[in-house]
Structure 1
Amino acid sequence: MLIRQAEEKDIGLLKGIVAAMKARHEDNYVERCMAEQTEKRRTILLAEENSQGLGYAMVNWLPLYPPFRRLGIPEIQDLNVIPGARRQGLGARLVEACEKTAAQVGKTEIGISVGLHAGFGAAQRLYVRCGYVPDGAGLMHDETPVVAGEMRPVDDVLTLKLIKNL
């Protein structure tokens, strides 16, 4: 199994992973992310074996989350492993590859978001095992802080921001 930076020729593999995940993204999501990689706004890391896409993760160098952006902290985003390749350590290897990518350009911290409903349970456990801790800002809903007593839906954009020293 190989983890490497994705290239234009990998768009089909990435789309296959998105489809296998039944992810809800806009139609041109993969192409937009690839364009952002060309612009040095993100790095897409692809896990493959025998020319089959098994998963991917992205390092966003300019995250929308204001504290990360202000402090120059890159954010791991969109970590996905296809169902047939799970529970084999691939998620942890993708996280580690993202961390190494950030460290290679001199970053000393990296962030990641995790959803709070049960659908994110495996990710929650993975990030703790990988050494991530809450950034201390509390819950976010679509990158906006949730104020105590405020009602927000428990959906995919209700997140906790985590951080790790590299």
Structure 2
Amino acid sequence: MQLEKVKLLTAGAKDLSLLTDLANEMRNEKDVDYFEVLLQLQKEGLRTVYIAKNISDYVGYCLVNWSPKYGLYKRLNIPEIQDLNVLPKFRRRGIGKAMIEHCEKVVKKRGFKHIGIGVGLDASFGSAQRLYVKMGYVPDGNGVTYDRINVRSGEMRPIDDDLSLMLVKDI
């Protein structure tokens, strides 16, 4: 794995088309106003949206949700890293790890003791699952969620991006 230096920039309104282009390049279909909503929530202090850039290219994006929907995070006031995406041609270069480390530093600087992240359960999330564990994230002990709501034993849910295992880390 060739490690690559990456810088995280806080996104602004001027970056709307860039964020949309990055999502489209990853075939990561978003609602038309997804990034507009995120940037509005950022103005309100509820999210911080980051764009990752190496020396010459924009390579991904992620966000910190300061007011997550997930019940445990909400109850314990744990910020959540969400929507971590690295363009396929730049993967396996340490960019995702650098993005997570940046988010952890920002969260810690604000005085939080824990940070959360959710990960999908199908094989397409295998690399993310391994990375998060290597970085010290552990399951929160509450099982699987669907759209950030705990799934009870026997419930049927589709295996898609909304089916997640929620993880936490002490920072």
Using the size of structure 2 for normalisation, the TM-score is 0.92
Asked if residue 78 in structure 1 is aligned to residue 66 in structure 2, the reply is: no
Asked if residue 14 in structure 1 is aligned to residue 37 in structure 2, the reply is: no
Partner of 1:4: 9
Q: What does residue range 109-120 of structure 1 map to in structure 2 within 5 Å?
A: 109-120=114-125
Residue ranges of structure 2 left out of the alignment (5+ in a row):
1-5
Asked if residue 67 in structure 1 is aligned to residue 78 in structure 2, the reply is: no
Partner of 1:100: 105
Using the size of structure 1 for normalisation, the TM-score is 0.95
Shift of 1:50: 4.9
Deviates more, 1:85-94 or 1:143-152: 143-152
- SS of residue paired to 2:139: strand
Residue ranges of structure 1 left out of the alignment (5+ in a row):
none
Check the 8 A contact 2:71/2:149 in 1, yes or no: no
Check the 8 A contact 2:16/2:36 in 1, yes or no: yes
- SS of residue paired to 1:11: helix
- AA matched with 2:134: R
Partner of 2:3: none
Q: What does residue range 83-162 of structure 1 map to in structure 2 within 5 Å?
A: 83-162=88-167
Shift of 1:15: 1.4
Measured on the aligned residues, the alpha-carbon RMSD in Å equals 1.2
Partner of 1:165: 170
Check the 8 A contact 2:117/2:168 in 1, yes or no: yes
Check the 8 A contact 1:16/1:53 in 2, yes or no: no
- AA matched with 1:78: D
What's the % identity of the aligned pairs?
Answer: 46
Give the count of matched residue pairs: 166
Residue 31 of structure 1: which of 36, 39, 53 is its match? Answer: 36
Moved over 4 A (4+): none
Deviates more, 1:58-67 or 1:45-54: 45-54
Shift of 1:6: 1.5
